[in-house]
Each structure stands twice: as structure tokens, then as C-alpha cells.
């Protein structure tokens, strides 16, 4: 369908609107990395910050000039001139020019309530602020994107004034008029009708102007609102790549892009770039130190995950039965979960990765299935820890060789009785790798954190690639609560190397031991998947 419906340009605001999300803080280096990723993805505009608001953004705009960008046009963001002063005298406007970006995004009020009650000026002065600022920047050689802030709220309460704000920006030379659902409360029917009115209103008088859409997710409609705006004629979509932003977040470009391109026939990015969408999205999330929810469409870990036996059977016969697109088209992958409801056929497929010759009735297959059932009876759950299950298969088929042997580990927690330092935890781990022993201690925020750090630290001498991995999630489930503090627990951990994530599981009546089991599986799975073999034997000795 691609190329049949024309082109939609992408305007990413991860570094500006995304940075306003709770818990997000980008360094200048973070921003530079993200800009390069978005450029490789084929994003048209990257709104990189407000040079008039903080020194960090000013530093970024100085540093970014050294990047070789092949596609992205950088955007500096700011407000219209302040009330009752000349645009030439507004220091924030001058900061926008000092950023030396080819594009400037200016927001101005389109809701009369915001004008009279929030910035407290007259309706005429607000229109003059828009006209003067856009015109001044256009005369300064900038491509100007005008963000009609609170447009949909204004459209509902004073439609004429909202349209006037758009008109004066267009008359002043704005290249794009972007309609903003700033509060994030609009529903698709309003977005569709209002966007259609603006597109029709501007079409005859300003045929070259582009109408855009900028939505927030406060009513859980951001993505849908962006899609219906495009259907109504908008040809620029603003958002953040993985959806984080002010309050409940922005429109998620990583889910909007494939919908527009694969389902609606618009040209957005190249097919090759689309096939890297999942990787780029997770890389940006990693830099931002946020987790992409597993259920995120297209790019989430569970987006193409199947558990029920009937679903897995259908996928085996024809993926179209339960998948709306090919996972590989967006760089994701199909996952068939291992559980008591998965069915023998799906378990056999996983076994056949290691032993293609085995059938359903092979003794090894039956033994693995029996082991799976027994382990699940004992509290294991492999539907969220397929990596541990792959290790079970490898061990049964003789494809597994231990990467190290544990000599001992010890954890120690300390909490001062009165004031002073916070609670501290220390772990000591001693291991042997082909006859050579090593011992290391590490401190962490808790016993599991300390144990994880010590284990990876002691093994990095033998397997340097382990320095790239770290835990991203840790869950504990009490399995038999009637036993109180003696209950068996299941520990599920998720680990990442910055590009891919995997989950492992451990079960024991001792939470530290269950955590250790999951940690060991996590490390051994990584080494096995990377094709690493244990080093040759070294002379007996001990490293500290």
C-alpha cells in the first residue's frame, strides 16, 4: 500500500516534550545520541529543546552542529514574543536565533480563555504576538512551525478566535500550522472535524502550507487522534518516539508510523528503517532509562507473543491467523510462550531449535515435557522466562556446558539503629572457571542488587561482554502464602544488554537462592546465545 496516499512528515519531540516527563533527564551526550538514532530512522524534524530556557539546551545546540545528519532538520522551540514588547527586544526570541537551527517551532495561544486568564492580555494583542513572532523569524530565514496551543479547546469554546490564530500565523509565513491538543482530553470525533475544517480553510488561500497534529494522551486517545487527523488531511504528525512526555505522555510515533505506512498506505520512512523501528525505540528508551510496556503495539515484547494452544496452532499453520502484520517488518519477533497451556507442538518447535531431528514421541521430547510439567508444579513459570526454559532444553539435550562453578556466596545487610548512613548490603561471590578461581565483593541497594553486581564483576574477567548487561526488572511472587515466612517464592528477573532483553526465573524457599538461580540463568543464557565457550584451563590461582 505504500506511496498510494502521499507522504506524512514526522516531527519528534522526545528531547523537548519528552524531557518534560516525570523522571526523565537527558544529558547533552544523551541528546546527541538520540538525534543520531532519529536521523538514521528517517525522522524529518527533531525538536531538540528551548535555548531560552536553560544552559543545557544552549550547550546542546552548540555541540549538535558537529553531527553529520543526513535527514533530520533540527528545531529550536519557544514561545511567541511576550506581551507589550517588540519582538526584536525579546531575549527568548533572540535565543531561538542563536541556536542556528534551520527550523523554529513557535507556540501561541488559540484558546481565548488562555489568553485572558493565563497570559492575561487582550485577544488582539495575542494575535499580534503570533503575527509579529512568526513574521520576524521568517524574515530571519527560518522555516517556522506554528504550534496552535490549546487549539481544540479553543475550537469548542470560541471557534472564530481559534481560526483567527491559525490565520494570522499562516499570513505571517508559517510553513506548518500544527493543531495541538495540549490538555490531551479531546476525542477522535472532535479532532477529525476540527482538523478537516482547518485543512479546508487554509487550502485555497495557502496551498503550500502543511497542517500538523500534536496530541497528548490524557484521555488515552493520543495515537487515535493523530490517525484521524491524518485522515482529515493533516500531513505532519508530532509526538515522541516511545510516547513519554508531559503528564500522561504524547502520541507514540513508534506505533503511529507502522499504522500509517503498513495499514493506510502513507509514505513515512523507508522500509529498511521501519525494520529497525523496534531496536531504535528500545535504544531510545534505554537512554531515557524507561521501560517500554510489554503490551506496546508493534514494538513491545508481547506485541507478537502467543500463549494459548489454539493460537499457537494457528500461528504454526499460517501467521495471518492471529497476527495483523509480519513482526519482522517492524524489527520485532514472534514469541511462543512455554506453559502448561502451550501444547506439545509449540514445545517441540523450541526443542527443534537445538535438535531438529527430534519428533513428538522421541524420548528426549517426552522427558523435557515431563520436566517442564514437574517444574511448573514446583512453582516455576516459563511463560515469562523463556530463557530459563531454553537452558532446560539445552541441558537435557547435552548442549549445555557450565560457564562457571560456584564455590560460595555470602550476603550481608546492615542498618544503623539511629540515623547515619542508609541501609547497605554487601555480597561476596567466589567462583571457578576451568580450574581458576576468583572472588569479588560488591555493594548494592539490596541483597539481590549486591549479588548481581558481585556475580557479574567476578565473571567479567573471564567473559568481558557481561559488562554490557544489567537488570531492568525484578519480581517476587509468594507461591504458598499459608506457609508465611517459610513460603516458597518465585523470582523473575529481566536483563538487557541495551538492545535486547530476556527473562529468567528461580524458585526456592530462600529468596536469595531463588534470585541467585535466576541471575545465573540470565548470565548463562546471554553467553550461550552469543556463542561464547568457556576459556581453556588456566593454572590454578586466585584473583581478587
Kindly report, residue by residue over 261-270, the tens digit of the pLDDT.
999 999 999 9
Looking at the fold, whether 218 and 347 belong to one and the same domain comes out as: no
- Among 208, 241, 269, the domain boundary falls at 269
Confidence (pLDDT) at 239: 98
| 3-state percent breakdown (helix, strand, coil) of the chain, nearest 5 | 45, 20, 35
Total domains, the chain = 3
Whether the pLDDT of residue 325 is over 90: the answer is: yes
Residue 335 is predicted with a pLDDT of: 80
Rounded to an integer, the average pLDDT of 164-178 is 98
Residue 486, pLDDT > 80, answer: no
Q: Which among 350, 367, 396 is the end of a domain?
A: 396
| 112 vs 446, residue with greater confidence | 112
pLDDT tens per residue, range 239-251:
999 999 999 999 9
Q: Which pLDDT score, from 0 to 100, does residue 537 have?
A: 38
Is 297 within a domain?
no
CATH number of the structural domain spanning residue 177: 3.20.20.70
Predicted TM-score (pTM) of the model is: 0.72
The stretch 129-133 carries a mean pLDDT of 98
Confidence band for 471, pLDDT divided at 50, 70 and 90: confident
Same domain, 328 and 463: no
| C-alpha to C-alpha distance for 168 and 121, rounded to whole angstroms | 17
Which of 49-58, 160-169, 329-338, 429-438 has the largest mean confidence?
Answer: 160-169
Q: Is 142 part of any domain?
A: yes
Q: Which helix (H) or strand (E) holds 203?
A: helix 188-203
User: In terms of residue numbers, what domain contains 326?
Assistant: 305-396
The values of phi and psi at residue 17, to 5°, are: -65, -40
Beta strands (DSSP E) in 156-244 are: 176-181, 210-215, 236-239
Q: Is residue 504 part of a domain?
A: yes
Does 93 share its domain with 174? Answer: yes
The reply to whether 288 falls in a domain is no
The pLDDT of residue 536 is 55
pLDDT at 271: 96
> Residue 420, Cβ neighbours under 10 Å: how many?
7
Same domain, 137 and 258: yes
Residue 464 per-residue DSSP state: G
pLDDT of res. 414: 76
Q: In the listed set 245, 269, 293, which residue is the last one of a domain according to the structure?
A: 269
Q: How confident is the model at residue 141 (pLDDT cuts 50, 70, 90)?
A: very high
For residues 48 and 185, membership in a common domain is answered with yes
DSSP three-state, residue 384: coil
Instruction: Determine which helix (DSSP H) or strand (DSSP E) holds 35, and give its type and residue range.
Output: helix 28-41
Position 420 pLDDT exceeds 70: no
pLDDT at 417 over 90: no
Q: Is residue 290 part of a domain?
A: no
3-state secondary structure 338-362: CCCCCCHHHHHHHHHCCCCCCCCCC
Whether residue 156 is found in the same domain as residue 218: yes
Is residue 102 within 8 Å of residue 143, measured between CB atoms? yes
- Average pLDDT over every residue of 455-467: 92
Instruction: Report d(CA 534, CA 462) in Å as an integer.
Output: 8
Confidence of residue 539 (pLDDT cuts 50, 70, 90): very low
Amino acid at each position: 500500500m505504500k506511496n498510494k496516499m502521499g507522504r506524512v512528515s514526522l516531527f519528534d519531540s522526545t528531547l523537548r516534550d519528552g524531557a518534560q516527563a516525570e523522571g526523565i533527564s537527558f544529558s547533552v551526550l544523551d541528546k546527541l545520541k538520540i538525534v543520531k538514532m532519529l536521523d538514521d530512522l528517517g525522522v524529518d524534524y527533531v525538536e531538540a529543546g528551548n535555548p531560552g530556557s536553560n544552559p543545557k539546551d544552549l550547550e546542546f545546540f552548540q555541540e549538535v552542529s558537529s553531527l553529520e545528519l543526513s535527514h533530520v532538520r533540527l528545531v529550536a522551540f519557544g514561545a511567541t514574543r511576550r506581551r507589550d514588547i517588540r519582538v526584536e527586544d525579546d531575549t527568548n526570541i533572540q535565543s531561538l536565533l542563536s541556536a542556528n537551527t534551520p527550523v523554529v517551532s513557535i507556540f501561541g495561544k488559540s484558546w481565548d480563555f488562555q489568553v485572558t486568564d493565563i497570559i492575561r492580555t487582550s485577544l488582539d494583542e495575542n494575535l499580534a504576538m503570533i503575527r509579529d513572532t512568526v513574521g520576524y523569524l521568517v524574515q530571519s530565514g527560518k522555516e517556522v512551525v506554528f504550534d496552535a496551543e490549546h487549539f481544540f479547546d479553543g475550537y469548542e469554546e470560541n471557534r472564530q478566535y481559534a481560526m483567527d490564530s491559525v490565520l494570522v500565523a499562516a499570513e505571517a509565513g508559517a510553513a506548518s500550522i500544527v493543531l495541538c491538543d495540549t490538555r490531551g482530553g479531546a476525542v477522535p470525533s472532535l479532532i477529525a472535524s476540527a482538523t478537516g475544517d482547518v485543512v479546508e480553510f487554509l487550502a485555497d488561500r495557502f496551498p503550500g502550507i502543511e497542517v500538523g497534529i500534536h496530541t497528548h494522551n490524557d484521555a488515552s486517545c493520543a495515537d487515535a487522534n493523530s490517525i484521524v487527523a491524518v485522515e482529515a488531511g493533516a500531513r505532519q504528525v508530532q509526538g515522541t518516539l516511545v510516547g513519554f512526555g508531559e503528564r500522561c505522555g504524547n502520541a507514540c510515533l513508534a506505533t503511529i508510523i507502522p499504522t500509517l505506512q503498513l495499514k493506510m498506505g502513507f509514505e513515512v520512512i523507508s522500509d529498511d528503517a521501519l525494520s529497525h523501528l523496534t531496536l531504535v525505540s528500545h535504544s531510545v528508551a534505554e537512554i531515557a532509562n524507561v521501560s517500554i510496556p510489554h503490551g506496546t503495539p508493534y514494538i513491545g515484547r508481547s506485541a507478537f507473543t502467543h500463549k494459548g494452544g489454539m493460537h499457537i496452532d494457528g500461528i504454526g499453520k499460517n501467521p495471518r491467523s492471529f497476527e495483523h502484520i509480519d513482526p519482522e517488518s517492524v524489527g520485532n519477533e514472534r514469541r511462543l510462550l512455554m506453559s502448561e497451556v502451550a501444547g506439545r507442538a509449540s514445545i517441540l518447535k523450541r526443542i527443534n531449535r537445538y535438535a531438529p531431528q527430534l519428533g513428538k514421541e522421541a524420548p528426549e521430547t517426552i522427558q523435557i515435557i515431563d520436566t517442564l510439567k514437574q517444574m511448573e508444579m514446583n512453582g516455576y513459570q516459563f511463560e515469562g522466562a523463556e530463557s530459563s526454559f531454553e537452558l532446560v532444553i539445552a541441558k537435557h539435550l547435552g548442549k549445555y556446558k557450565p560457564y562457571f562453578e560456584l564455590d560460595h556466596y555470602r550476603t550481608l545487610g546492615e542498618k544503623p539503629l539511629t540515623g547515619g548512613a542508609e541501609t547497605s548490603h554487601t555480597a561476596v561471590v567466589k567462583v571457578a572457571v576451568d580450574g581458576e578461581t576468583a572472588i569479588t565483593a560488591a555493594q548494592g541497594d539490596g541483597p539481590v542488587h549486591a549479588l548481581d553486581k558481585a556475580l557479574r564483576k567476578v565473571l567479567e574477567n573471564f567473559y568481558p561482554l557481561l559488562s554490557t548487561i544489567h537488570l531492568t526488572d525484578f519480581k517476587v511472587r509468594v507461591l504458598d502464602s499459608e506457609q508465611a515466612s517459610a513460603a516458597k517464592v518465585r523470582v523473575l528477573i529481566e536483563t538487557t544488554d541495551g538492545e535486547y532483553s530476556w527473562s529468567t526465573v528461580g524458585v526456592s524457599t530462600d529468596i536469595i537462592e531463588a534470585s541467585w538461580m535466576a541471575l545465573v540463568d540470565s548470565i548463562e543464557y546471554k553467553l550461550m546465545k552469543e556463542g561464547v565457550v568457556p576459556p581453556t584451563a588456566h593454572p590454578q590461582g586466585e584473583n581478587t
